[in-house]
C-alpha cells in the first residue's frame, strides 16, 4: 500500500495573502443576488515540488435583495463581517 504524500505548509502567513471575491448578479424578476468570499491562501507542497497555493481559511456568504435596494452597503457590511471573523479566528489560533 502506498503512503499518502506529506503536506508541507510554510510558516504562519509566510508568503500568504487574503483573497476577497465578490460576485453580483440581477434577475428580471426584480432582485439582485451574489456572494462574498474571503480566503487566507498559503503556499503548500504536497510531496515533491511544485509549491501550490491552498486555502487555509475560507468563509463566504450568499445574499439577495430587491433591485430598489442598494447592494453596495450590503456587500460592505458582509466584507466587514468576514474580515472580523477572520481576525477573531486568526487570534484564537494563537497568531500574533
Could you report the per-residue pLDDT of 25-79, keeping only the tens digit for each? 988 888 899 999 999 998 888 777 788 888 999 999 999 998 777 888 999 999 9
What pTM value is reported for the model? 0.76
Buried b (16+ CB within 10 A) or exposed e, 25-40: eeeeeeebebebbbbb
Average pLDDT, rounded, for the chain: 84
Instruction: Identify any residues that bridge with 61 across adjacent strands, giving them in sequence order.
Output: 36
Total residue length of the chain: 96
Amino acid at each position: 500500500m502506498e503512503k499518502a504524500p506529506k503536506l508541507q505548509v510554510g510558516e504562519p502567513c509566510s508568503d500568504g495573502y487574503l483573497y476577497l471575491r465578490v460576485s453580483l448578479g440581477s434577475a428580471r424578476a426584480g432582485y439582485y443576488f451574489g456572494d462574498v468570499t474571503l480566503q487566507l491562501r498559503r503556499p503548500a507542497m504536497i510531496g515533491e515540488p511544485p509549491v501550490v497555493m491552498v486555502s487555509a481559511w475560507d468563509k463566504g456568504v450568499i445574499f439577495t435583495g430587491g433591485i430598489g435596494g442598494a447592494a453596495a452597503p450590503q456587500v460592505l457590511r458582509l466584507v466587514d463581517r468576514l474580515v472580523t471573523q477572520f481576525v477573531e479566528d486568526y487570534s484564537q489560533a494563537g497568531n500574533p
